[in-house]
Structure 1
């Protein structure tokens, strides 16, 4: 097979792998696509050909997996269609460079011995995924482990997390490729079967029940193009206020930027009415509320920063105190969470890319960052840990909230607005990302979103209930909080992803570079 045909086949395999993720969720397909890539690499004559195969596979995988970014840039951002498509292609190509480098090394270091080549391939795959998750703040959407929320791989989540699952699947794919090539002995086929089924022996609860909580999750269903419409806002705000006040739940959660304006820019009296409703003796009757909105904050250098935030209200909380930022006409919320992990181009502008943002007619700027470890909100005996939209892609950052802290969350809550993507598969993919966090940390995850996916997940990532996409409504659900730590929480909370990177690097050195057979 010519190198050009091999690269075209790798491109197709990468695009096919995107069907392994939500909404289809086909873990066996993901492993089969990796096996196909490994078979192609076995025929690659040079590292350069290996790089081309990795680049093609990665481009097909990501371009198909995150094409919905086009919707936000073109339909809502006003970017010309051709330029928006080019931007998605450029992003996919740039992120595929990590896999290209990894596959070039896989060809360079192969020994022809299955027992060495398979772990080296898996380690290099892991390093490529970690690079995509960490470099330039990271964009780990559609990481390969997310295809394994069903099947044996899911049992690995509380041990090694999503990237460890991806490495396991890569090892299994490479081992299957060796078997399919026919050069592997029977024991390698048995090893593939054992590797595929081994995680089934691992599932267990590392956490324990910590009481229950009644929750109401609000789905506002406001189209992104109308979110800032003066004509629509009064009706939406009226609906929100009514739901916040009349729900029988212990906690009511409204989505990210449910209030799209700063407190001082809301209709007169609304912020005061909200504060009074949740004050001691107020009509909210002792319940608590979380709702997303922009806030301002004075930085240490005296600069005023805007933040993508969650405001919390509860009669059990003392009123907020301290100086208000300049221009603030209303008191600060009793509880506040500021988003820490910001979205590149959406919430902060990387240096040198102002021209790109100017092409999109979006009100974007550099937001202020909150602390990586934020306090929890105490509600009815539970401790609520908010996170906003994109933040739940970073399980190691959520795990950091559990290390040496007495107020670590018993329940996680994600507030999102995915109306930017108009009902695309991004909504289902984000739901599956939240499922992975539930499995890794063994905590229930509640999702309150603007247009979907508004869902409640238990500590095993099982769906408790959900609202249909795009419909305004309230999801009433009772969840069980959890105490205790999984192995993943313990190591990722202390050291982040460094242990996985170190293990992968040592594997490559020990089995690849140091023990590589002489050539020529």
Structure 2
């Protein structure tokens, strides 16, 4: 709906401004929309920098605003191009707006290592009928569809409220049936697509225990609390036996070689007694390189996955920003990226595609483990963001990954939201945030590939580029030229 409102404002600029001012005003309007979106939606950046990172409040606030201003450049670019093209016809304008918005989101997901958070498509997880498009087109394709639907809603409203005499443009331009039918077709098609099953169940049901230690971020890295964390997770694993036990990201707050060998041996024996495997998050030192890793112990033998897509400022320092990081107190902020294309881990009879925290935001990277992986697991520590919007947003992102891939997604987090997500994006069960416990459930592996797994975002990207090329041929006449023609008649 909000994109429909932005579309309406941009259309007013097309119809009311001269050609030399259109693009500038369009950029300003879309930038204002984007700035409001990001200031509200990623305000948790301030929480991580100030509350937990120890950065002065004024500096953290300024950094958050500047970050949101950079993100607002991408909708500004879409707005400038849309108003600059100034195509004629309500349906052409709708298609062009949706195409440019989607491409701006794709660019934001790639530039400067990428930040696809708050893509419009994430708002369409179940029960939205538009969720059916995820397995076909991915989240950015869903963004296109949702933006297009927003333009149709605006057009229906405009026609219903119009006082323009029918004689000037004809009844077809006044009657809301055409955009109404188009919107209904989009919704019905999406709902039917939700009923399709692109993947098949593989193997027997698997019992899992996802552990949520609820270790406060301000306490986690204190040396005197180290053994408390170890005892917490051992006790939770012991009290909730399962074929696959999963601990969150950096559940053991130390490097692997700093953890007592007796403790790791105890975890190994515990997993063997339960005839299963245990997956835990821990930092691993390899010479002068440090990895944010997931390590497995148990019946399937020791395996590991090293995080590939690191978080700027949180896990590595971008060139030229060492001065900025000196003002924050963020432990282990100099990791090395793991090798791309690491194979799935073989755990509890399944092939598991592991991703750590921020990595599940990038659907195009998740599918590199597919179709080989039969199950997806994300381990996270979002305690950095406190009681903000971030944990719920991250869960919604995980739901989209399940929809895109046709795989169940298991999330084990330190403070929430720990959850089991089904292949259709529904949350089957979850733990309350900021509580200590284990989420025990039964899951199934799946084989096969959705269209998105096979082709990624490319069909949506190529399709929108072709649309833009075709629609660009139907540009509106500059307003000054229209006035001159009227005066000469």
The normalised TM-score by structure 2 is 0.89
Provide the residue aligned with 2:192 in structure 1: 201
CA shift for structure 1 position 276: 4.8
Inter-partner Cα distance in structure 1 for 2:198 and 2:58: 50
1:350 aligns with 2:318: yes
Provide the residue aligned with 2:297 in structure 1: 313
Q: When the two structures are aligned, how many residues end up with a matched partner?
A: 455
SS of residue matched to 2:308? coil
SS of residue matched to 1:290? strand
CA shift for structure 1 position 372: 2.8
Inter-partner Cα distance in structure 1 for 2:349 and 2:385: 36
SS of residue matched to 1:465? strand
Provide the residue aligned with 2:57 in structure 1: 81
SS of residue matched to 1:202? helix
CA shift for structure 1 position 385: 1.6
1:346-369: CA deviation from partner (whole Å, max 9, x where unpaired): 111111111111111223433111
CA shift for structure 1 position 517: 4.9
1:436 aligns with 2:400: yes
Inter-partner Cα distance in structure 2 for 1:245 and 1:196: 47
Inter-partner Cα distance in structure 2 for 1:381 and 1:78: 44
1:112 aligns with 2:112: no
SS of residue matched to 1:100? helix
SS of residue matched to 1:158? helix
Q: 1:339 to 1:287 in 2, by over 3 A?
A: same
Out of 452, 471, 475, the position equivalent to 1:511 is 471
1:165-196: CA deviation from partner (whole Å, max 9, x where unpaired): 11111111122223333374432332233233
Structure of higher CA gyration radius: 2
SS of residue matched to 1:86? helix
Inter-partner Cα distance in structure 2 for 1:58 and 1:101: 11
Inter-partner Cα distance in structure 2 for 1:102 and 1:339: 32
- Show the 5 A alignment for 1:240-319: 240-245=233-238, 247-267=240-260, 269-278=262-271, 282=272, 284-298=273-287, 304-317=288-301
Q: 1:175 to 1:358 in 2, by over 3 A?
A: same
Inter-partner Cα distance in structure 2 for 1:292 and 1:212: 24
Inter-partner Cα distance in structure 1 for 2:460 and 2:250: 35
SS of residue matched to 2:415? coil
SS of residue matched to 1:391? helix
1:286·1:316 contact (CA, 8 Å) conserved in 2? no
1:375 aligns with 2:375: no
CA shift for structure 1 position 103: 0.6
CA shift for structure 1 position 409: 1.5
Inter-partner Cα distance in structure 1 for 2:7 and 2:477: 22
Provide the residue aligned with 1:500 in structure 2: 460
5+ long unaligned stretches in structure 2:
163-172, 482-489
2:210·2:245 contact (CA, 8 Å) conserved in 1? yes
Inter-partner Cα distance in structure 2 for 1:294 and 1:364: 9
Out of 358, 361, 379, the position equivalent to 1:415 is 379
The normalised TM-score by structure 1 is 0.84
Out of 222, 229, 241, the position equivalent to 2:222 is 229
SS of residue matched to 1:456? strand
Provide the residue aligned with 1:390 in structure 2: 358
Provide the residue aligned with 2:10 in structure 1: 41
How large is the RMSD of aligned CA atoms in angstroms?
1.7
1:456 aligns with 2:438: no
Q: 1:172 to 1:436 in 2, by over 3 A?
A: same
CA shift for structure 1 position 274: 3.3
Inter-partner Cα distance in structure 2 for 1:316 and 1:164: 38
Inter-partner Cα distance in structure 1 for 2:192 and 2:3: 24
5+ long unaligned stretches in structure 1:
1-31, 299-303, 318-333
SS of residue matched to 1:71? helix
2:243·2:274 contact (CA, 8 Å) conserved in 1? no
2:132·2:190 contact (CA, 8 Å) conserved in 1? yes
- Show the 5 A alignment for 1:186-197: 186=175, 187-197=178-188
Provide the residue aligned with 1:174 in structure 2: 151
Inter-partner Cα distance in structure 1 for 2:352 and 2:52: 33
Inter-partner Cα distance in structure 2 for 1:462 and 1:365: 34
Inter-partner Cα distance in structure 1 for 2:256 and 2:332: 19
1:13-40: CA deviation from partner (whole Å, max 9, x where unpaired): xxxxxxxxxxxxxxxxxxx211111111
Provide the residue aligned with 1:214 in structure 2: 207
Question: Structure 1 residues 180-189 or 255-264, which shifts more?
Answer: 180-189
Inter-partner Cα distance in structure 2 for 1:340 and 1:433: 18
2:257·2:284 contact (CA, 8 Å) conserved in 1? no
Inter-partner Cα distance in structure 2 for 1:351 and 1:139: 18
Inter-partner Cα distance in structure 1 for 2:477 and 2:454: 41
SS of residue matched to 2:464? helix
Question: Structure 1 residues 376-385 or 81-90, which shifts more?
Answer: 376-385
Provide the residue aligned with 2:447 in structure 1: 483
